[in-house]
Amino acid sequence: MRHIDKIVIHCTATRPNWWQGKSAQQKTDEIRRWHVEDRGWSDIGYHYLIDRDGTVTEGRPLSRSGAHARGHNKGSVGISLFGGHGGNVSDKFDDNFTEDQDRALRDLIDNLKSDHPITKIIGHNEVANKACPTFVVSDWLHRASPVRKEQKPMVASKQRTRPSQSRTVKTSVVQGVSAAGGAVAALQALDGTAQIIVLVGCFAFAGMALFILRERLKAWAAGWR
């Protein structure tokens, strides 16, 4: 395997709806035909291409130098995004490409970095007088990545419709009932001053139990079981 330490990002300069309905592989094969038949190259110039829906296809084998950035093909990987037709160097990523492409490009870069000592990630427009890939790669790299589609909101609330379903709330109620039963039994066995002392203790315990029950109800409302 050749030494790889750089990634160069490109665009195909095709319209957003170019070959709509065709698969990512069919689009890649068409780009390959352009490069081989129209330009006389031995293969497609890019190593990877990313379709509008985030599908990643392989182009030229990674073991071979690409034909995507003159003077910078050695030691680099060429990645091209479908789209970018009519774009400018100063455009934002979202002006010409999709969130699916954003996520897929970041994932592909992470995978390449895990396998190769990548030290530089640049756009074609940094090494050639071109608009490609129609955004500033350094700005894009430092912005927040879009939320991944597989992330789903918690649905625990659908299983919690009543406070009585909470284990902690149930525990507080049981503890309160048990304490009340114990207090009644203790009072029946005592009289006079002893009953007063027991009653004061019961009131203090009841206050504490009510406080705990209130806190557990608040916790239930916040989403805890």
DSSP of 191-210: -THHHHHHHHHHHHHHHHHH
φ and ψ at residue 110, rounded to 5 degrees: -60, -40
Are residues 51 and 105 in contact, defined by beta-carbon separation less than 8 angstroms? no
Bridge partners (DSSP) listed for residue 50: 56, 81
φ and ψ at residue 122, rounded to 5 degrees: -135, 170
Residue 48 has pLDDT above 90, yes or no: yes
Residues catalogued as catalytic: 10, 46, 124, 130, 132
pTM: 0.66
DSSP letter at 84? B
Strands 48-50 and 120-123: unpaired
Model pLDDT for residues 115-140, shown as the tens digit of each residue: 999 999 999 999 999 999 999 999 99
Residue 163: partners with Cβ closer than 8 Å, 6 or more residues away: 169, 217, 220
Bridge partners (DSSP) listed for residue 10: 80
**How much is the pLDDT for 139?**
97
Residue 46 has pLDDT above 90, yes or no: yes
Are residues 83 and 101 in contact, defined by beta-carbon separation less than 8 angstroms? yes
